[in-house]
Structure 1
Amino acid sequence: MASDHSLVAVIDFGTTYSGYAFSTRSDYKTDPLKIHANQAWNAGGRQLLSLKTPTVLLLDKNKEFVSFGYEAENQYSDLMIEQEHEEYYYFHRFKMKLHKNIHLSAATVIEDITGKSALAMDVFAISIQALKDHLIEELDKKGTTMTVKDIRWVLTVPAIWTDAAKQFMRKSAEKAGIPDENLLLALEPEAASIYCQYLPTDKLNGADEGFSMAEVGPQYMIIDVGGGTVDVTAHEKQQDGKLKELCKAIGDACGGTSIDNEFFQLMVKIFGAPLMNSLSENDPSAYLFREFETVKRTINPKKSGKISLSLYILCARRILGKIYLALCRLVP
């Protein structure tokens, strides 16, 4: 779609992690792969090599925004140590609430980790707004001052999302302050396919000798493995750079969180369900899963041997929390 916007910003709203990227019109003309993304998501003492932040939202007792991402995880953990968390709302991994929800509407509610409910559209809208505001702030810091209306906004969604789920995401983005006329929805595997058109062939792992994305006729498959869903689709390069979808996108809820769930069940077998359930309820900032996420990224088909995880952080944090509460009782 033609537009005169000088900057395009994309919000990738994921099941486990979310982030954004942007490119100016001038950069695109000289180098289409010159894409900027925030690289300073701060996980506190557990810095991950990630361009994204956890899809975690913390609201106060009035359901007003407190924090998002790593900051929300850390703040809620501190609130729990001080036993001040009960009136707060803590949402994580809530994107999949839209998957196969045939009754999705503006009145749909979702529950936080303690069972307290809120309107799903409010939770999604506030989360999108947090990412949007963070991007605007980063642009201001770089001296690229722009208003929301100056930007062409793109929100990515899984290809297997229903029309109702896509419409729900659009309405959420509008509620987050993104004008409808400035907003486009992009299917995640299609966005990846378009990106691949600009990559040198030697950057495409598994490409046969002689394969070229620039020529008309090549057929290829895109497998988008996300946190919640896996999308699979096939494209064929057409004239004038256009793409033909060879078959309808298929997939299901079998993304990276499925591996996390299996890992959790392994921990249940080792430590028992009562302890692991207690950790889930009393330490939702998921320090255990942060450690697992770091190790998980080192796995490849050629790797063998044992995998080590550091669990001392969990124990130390819980012990320090108890010491802190004990000291508080001693102070008059």
Structure 2
Amino acid sequence: MFRSDTIIQPLSVKEDSSVLVTLDIGDTYSGFAYTYTKEYLEDEWTIHMNDPWVREKHMTHKTCTTLLLEPHGEMKGAKYGYEAETDFAGKFLDGCHAEYLLFRNVKQEFYKDGVNFDAMITDVNSGQEKPLCDILLALLTFFREKALERVRKRFDAITENDIFWVLSVPSAWKQETSLLYRDLAIESGIPFRRLRLVTEPEACLAYVMQFIRIKVSPDGRAKISNKISHFDARVMLLDLSGDAATLSVHRVSGDKTFKMVFQTRSHKKGSSQVNDQFLLFLSNLIGEDIIRTLKKDYIDDYMAMCDEFEMRKREIKPGTSGTELFSFKLPYQIEETFKEQYKTEYVTITQRIKEKSVYRDRVRYDGSRLHVEISVLKDLFNIVLDKIEVYIRNVLQMAPCARIASFMLVGGFSESKLVQAGIKKRFPEMEVIIPETPELAVMKGSVMLAMNHEIRPPTPVSGSYQKEKEQTIISSVCTVL
């Protein structure tokens, strides 16, 4: 293991024969992006992704941050991402899943105080413990190898000595945590002198600023312009991920740099919370005990149901009529479990819905598929969006957040058209800027930042704020123009 006490130096990647790869290991989803420097210098939008990750009939730019280990925690034969989820479901059906270790949302453990090389993490299936660093090292190694495989497939003359690496880190982490993370990346096989760190807000900001330029008008409100003004301004970046909302404020300086002056992170305000609301909705329809039994005894069906909703909810558009139906197939085991547990009370699920559920007039069940009015699903989104609004407005009352010029929206949850419309509706007084593919802001922004600008080590925020359940994070100065 390497020592975490080395100052991070700028990368020099503007070589015609080099490739730059960035790894984004996220709380919920992960992936990588890369560019061939010769191509990038000709066209800065030439940033490549992996081939789409496939989960049944769905294809995504990222795969889930999941790791499945053999019984007793053997790393040999481990499965990653969607393959891990699918393989675990198959083992469950075969009745041989009990001793396998399934890890999800590993990176969230690094937000905890006092995390170190000796920290342990418990898997979600068998309750066994493994060293946290071993699990994260396995994930870093997997994505490094997948990136190498993809780069070599596209550029067959490239060797590892031609590749530079950038690793994005949350600025919520303390510097020692970021360096611990860097050490794990080095142990995964990335050369020390070809690896640099960049904070996620910096990367997102660099990505967004490729689409817009800020010009401050006399009344202090931001206008989108093709050129950046030399006047000071403040922009807010809202990164909505699977589990959290991270909000940062950046000051535009006269020397064309951004400096982060404030940041907080608030959990339970991301895409996963819409999924949680959907499970509560199903519990109201057919019984909380039915959903609990499904999760406990038929976890493969439970996971498949949650994954299906995760993908399908992205189809909901703000302009869709509220009375239009959203059809969703329920696992067969729900029907069987219902018959077993409610055989003396209700004849069918439809009967229970009519007699007990507050959604009785907005839902129809035909024996296999649930048909729900779109207005119900919009209500589930609104519960989460209302919490995000309160969070943002509380932050806007703080001194560093005065004179906000623009509001930038990134992150996987921001891909939802319903979320985009909801944020705009809740903040009509602000200019909300949403780039293309906001879920790729960290990956593509990391490439842009490393290719165009000096990457500087993070430094503590002076006069930081901290509120309950929110963490004030590190900031750095980065040139974006």
TM (norm. structure 2) is: 0.59
1:276 pairs with 291, 298, 301, which one? 291
Cα distance in 1 for residues equivalent to 2:119 and 2:247:
29
1:59 pairs with 50, 69, 72, which one? 69
> Aligned runs of 1:100-119 on 2, under 5 Å?
101-114=112-125, 115-119=127-131
Contact kept? 1:40, 1:51, Cα under 8 Å:
yes
Q: Cα gap change, 1:278/1:185 in structure 2, threshold over 3 Å: closer, same or farther?
A: farther
RMSD: 2.8
Instruction: Please state how far the C-alpha of 1:227 moved relative to its aligned partner.
Output: 1.4
Amino acid at match of 1:283: I
**Aligned match of 2:264:** 250
Amino acid at match of 1:106: F
> Aligned runs of 1:105-254 on 2, under 5 Å?
105-114=116-125, 115-200=127-212, 209-212=223-226, 214-217=228-231, 218-238=233-253, 241-245=256-260, 247-253=261-267, 254=269
Amino acid at match of 2:258: L
More displaced 10-residue stretch of structure 1: 190-199 or 266-275: 266-275
Contact kept? 1:213, 1:237, Cα under 8 Å:
no
Contact kept? 2:294, 2:333, Cα under 8 Å:
no
Q: Cα gap change, 1:216/1:3 in structure 2, threshold over 3 Å: closer, same or farther?
A: same
Contact kept? 2:31, 2:63, Cα under 8 Å:
yes
Instruction: Please state how far the C-alpha of 1:163 moved relative to its aligned partner.
Output: 2.9
Cα distance in 2 for residues equivalent to 1:318 and 1:86:
25
Cα distance in 2 for residues equivalent to 1:238 and 1:93:
36
Cα distance in 2 for residues equivalent to 1:210 and 1:125:
42
1:199 is paired with a residue of what secondary structure? coil
Cα distance in 2 for residues equivalent to 1:96 and 1:270:
32
**Aligned match of 1:34:** 46
Instruction: Please state how far the C-alpha of 1:269 moved relative to its aligned partner.
Output: 2.8
Amino acid at match of 2:280: Q
Contact kept? 1:21, 1:35, Cα under 8 Å:
yes
Cα distance in 2 for residues equivalent to 1:242 and 1:198:
14
Q: Which runs of 4+ in 1 moved over 4 A?
A: 207-210, 300-304, 316-319
Which consecutive residues of structure 1, in runs of 5 or more, have no partner in the other structure? 320-332
Amino acid at match of 1:294: M
Q: Cα gap change, 1:25/1:105 in structure 2, threshold over 3 Å: closer, same or farther?
A: same
Instruction: Please state how far the C-alpha of 1:98 moved relative to its aligned partner.
Output: 2.0
Instruction: Please state how far the C-alpha of 1:129 moved relative to its aligned partner.
Output: 1.1
Instruction: Please state how far the C-alpha of 1:231 moved relative to its aligned partner.
Output: 1.6
Deviations 1:164-207 (A, max 9, x none): 432332232223222333222222121011112222569xxxx9
1:25 to 2:34 alignment: no
1:20 is paired with a residue of what secondary structure? strand
1:308 is paired with a residue of what secondary structure? strand
Q: Cα gap change, 1:279/1:143 in structure 2, threshold over 3 Å: closer, same or farther?
A: farther
1:21 is paired with a residue of what secondary structure? strand
Contact kept? 1:159, 1:231, Cα under 8 Å:
no
Amino acid at match of 1:54: C
Cα distance in 1 for residues equivalent to 2:170 and 2:157:
31
Amino acid at match of 1:308: F
Higher relative contact order (CA 8 A, sep 6+): 2
**Aligned match of 2:369:** none
Contact kept? 2:67, 2:104, Cα under 8 Å:
yes
Cα distance in 2 for residues equivalent to 1:228 and 1:52:
16
What is the aligned-residue identity percentage?
25
> Aligned runs of 1:309-328 on 2, under 5 Å?
309-312=327-330, 314-315=331-332
Amino acid at match of 1:295: R
**Aligned match of 1:291:** 308
Deviations 1:88-126 (A, max 9, x none): 211112222222x11311111111112111111111110
2:12 pairs with 3, 26, 35, which one? 3
TM (norm. structure 1) is: 0.83
2:78 is paired with a residue of what secondary structure? strand
